[in-house]
Structure 1
Amino acid sequence: MTDVKGNCVPARDARTGAARAARPRTAGGAAAAGSRDRVRPGRPGPSGGEGLVIGTVPAGARFAGVLLLLAALAGLVSAFPTYLEVDGQELVLGGSVLGVLATLLVPLVGGAVGVLLVRGTVPKFGLAYASVAGALSLGNLLIELYRGRSSTDRPGVEVLAGEQVLTSDIHIGAGWVAGLVALALTVLAGCVAAAVWGRTVMDDRGTLDAVRGPLAGTTLLLGVGTVLSLALPAADVRDDLVLDPATGLEVVVTREGPQALLERPGLALLGGLLLAGALVLCSVTAPSLRPRLAAVGGLLAITVTVLAAGISGLRDAVVSDDLDWTLPGVGLVVAGLGFAVLTVLAWRLRRSS
């Protein structure tokens, strides 16, 4: 055998050289194969044109999805059994159409996100949803603990499951227990999601970067508006007009209505403060999450939480003849719809930075 210059080369040496030359190519191919195992491109579809890459999904991320599914199951169960028994009156969260919608909205969305997270389809979308939902659920968890366990320490007028009641005697029901379990599991899912966020590889080409600033500013305004709306009852009693016998004029007599979010003592006050702080903080941080679908997941968690609160206030005003829908109640629904619009925009916008 001859080389390029025409010199004779033994066949054995030629085979050895060929083998040595082949080794780097083989090693490079193995490295490329290993790289493909660790990071895979996104599936074609809504995200296919933005260069989405997804790494190996950690087991903790799938565990957070399992917790979201369990929380969704508990939330679905909470709608139909007795929620609380107040002064002998049994209250059910899903006693009306609006009550069913307000109670089941968060579990249904959380269950769907949990399925995606367990499958590992778009992990940071699910992790962002779980983290934000867990932060918002902590305040609601403390408020529910107050309603079922501590509200009798200082009896007052409350609106529970669409009924105006006096919290002088309360017995918990299966619906309250299921709802409390759902909130606790959501908080735990948020903690797990936050812990595995840094170990989950998912990124894109920054298709939302050009509008993150205006998006964050708008969500902050909506978050502050939501907190201001939560500070007052979404449904309140109407004042009475009484004829003053001394003057013959009609005077307005204010009746005691339901307590506002920050008027309750103890755990309820702490829960209200945590909920208000988490709403503002998540409204700022959710639009900054990467990739784009992570921002969508964070905004989706805020949307369903605010919408559920707004629909609950509307339910209270519609079900009870003694309650009127207030301006803060309207503000909650408007804020929830605003967050929904921003979530859809973040999902649809794919402008390159």
Structure 2
Amino acid sequence: MAGRDRSARDDRTRGATARRAASADGPGRRGTGNRPAGDRRTPRTPAAPVPADGLVVGDVPPVARAAGVALVLAGLAGIAALFPSYLVVGGQELVLGRGLGAVLVGLLVPVASIAVGAGLAAGRVPRLGLAYAGVGGALALGSLLIEVYRGSSSTVRPGIEVLAGERVLTSSVTTGAGWWLSVAALALTVLAGALAAASWGRTVMEDRGALDPARPGLAGAAVLLGVLTVLCLALPAADVPDRLVDDPSTGLEVVVEQQGPQALLERPGLALLGGLLLAGAVVLASVLAPSLRPRLAAVGGLLAVAVTVLAAALAGLRDAVTSDDLEWTVPGAGLLAAGLGYALLTVLAWRLRRAAA
């Protein structure tokens, strides 16, 4: 009996101790007590990190993604065009990717289009890709008309031309797979530009305006580079040098001009229209690209102009280096300087993000 009494007292003591501990652990006590049934507060979660320049990106419309896909296809077609037969001019077969230097120069625009187009198709920083596609499409329209002229009607008025690094006479022209792929690449770039223009207003992307104070300076520099580019494009980047011959009647040396490649605005028909459109697009893009919002859109527009001008300048330098009949000209050097200037403006617009961080 005594043992059972002690056991009952011990049970009552343990129960009282448990009730006092439970009453001490009330709703005001943090970390241990149970939350009251009527308290519906939820624990606070840390705020999502905000980009340094306050970049806000909304939903990307399907048309904008389609522009990115068109850019990728244009880049792939441009790479494929480097290797098969381009044109057969006067019985001479031409290939765009003749040699390592020609391949590297020919890869500049397609690789940039693939990189930017893939990001746009994936929905990343969409207005950068749309600006690149819009400016690149405007520049490609003139080049497309010039390319069509080379493969279809350049024999109407035969003349000396520099095609794929070779000095040829356009007495007869036969198109090859490389020419068709080049036309397809330019046409897809124009299509990407049209899709970018259609989807620009429906694509939401904005930032804090870190580039706004520098936009007037960028625009002024870009316009000067645009005028320089047009002046340099008006003359061949690689030309045939004049010859010095002895005049048998006087015994003096006489300068004899040799027929060289046709300048941009010397070609007739579609080529002349294409040259005018290309020159106008360069100046217009130089004015509009620095004003595009947000900052990354300006980067995309300037990048499109930079790679296009650099590709044209490096093509002229390649022709002068690889051909014994051609030499590099002052307009070719000016075109290279303009391309490097556009590249510098692109880098400056990109680096302002870090300055504003």
Q: Which amino acid aligns with 1:218?
A: A
Stretches of structure 1 lacking an aligned partner (at least 5 in a row):
1-18, 26-40
Contact 1:203 1:291 in 2 (8 A): yes
Q: 1:180 aligns with which of 178, 183, 194?
A: 183
Residue deviations 1:41-96 (CA, integer Å, cap 9, x gap): 8x87xxx2010000011011100011011111100100111110011111011102
Give me the whole-angstrom Cα distance separating, in 2, the residues matched to 1:239 and 1:255: 6
| Residue 274 (structure 1) aligns with | 277
Q: For structure 2, list consecutive stretches of 5 or more residues without a partner in the other structure.
A: 1-37, 42-47
Please list every run of at least 4 consecutive aligned residues from structure 1 whose deviation after the TM superposition is greater than 6 angstroms: none
Within the alignment, does 1:55 sit opposite 2:69 as a pair? Answer: no
- Separation in 2, partners of 1:323, 1:189: 36
User: What's the secondary structure of 1:152's corresponding residue?
Assistant: coil
For residue 228 of structure 1, what is the amino acid of its counterpart? L
1:258 aligns with 2:261: yes
What letter is aligned with 2:105? Answer: A
Does 1:206 find its partner at 2:190?
no
Q: Give distance in 2, aligned partners of 1:147 and 1:63.
A: 30
Amino acid at match of 1:75: G
Q: Does 1:147 align with 2:150?
A: yes
1:236 aligns to 2:239 (yes or no): yes
CA contact (8 A) 1:98 1:311 kept: no
Contact 1:98/1:312 (<8 A) preserved:
no
Pairing of 1:1-353 with structure 2 (within 5 A): 48-350=51-353
How many angstroms apart in 1 are the aligned matches of 2:233 and 2:144? 16
Distance 2:190 2:105 in 1: 19
* Secondary structure of 1:140 counterpart: helix
Indicate conservation of the 8 Å contact 1:84/1:91, yes or no.
yes
- Letter of the aligned partner of 1:95 in structure 2? R
User: Which amino acid is the alignment partner of residue 350 of structure 2?
Assistant: W
Whole-angstrom distance in 1 between the partners of 2:270 and 2:102: 25
Instruction: Work out the CA distance in 1 between the residues paired with 2:161 and 2:114.
Output: 30
What is the root-mean-square deviation in Å for CA atoms of aligned residues? 1.5
Percent identity between matched residues is 68
**TM-score, with length taken from structure 2:** 0.85
Distance 2:99 2:317 in 1: 11
Measure how far apart 1:102 and its partner are: 2.0
| TM-score under structure 1 length normalisation | 0.86
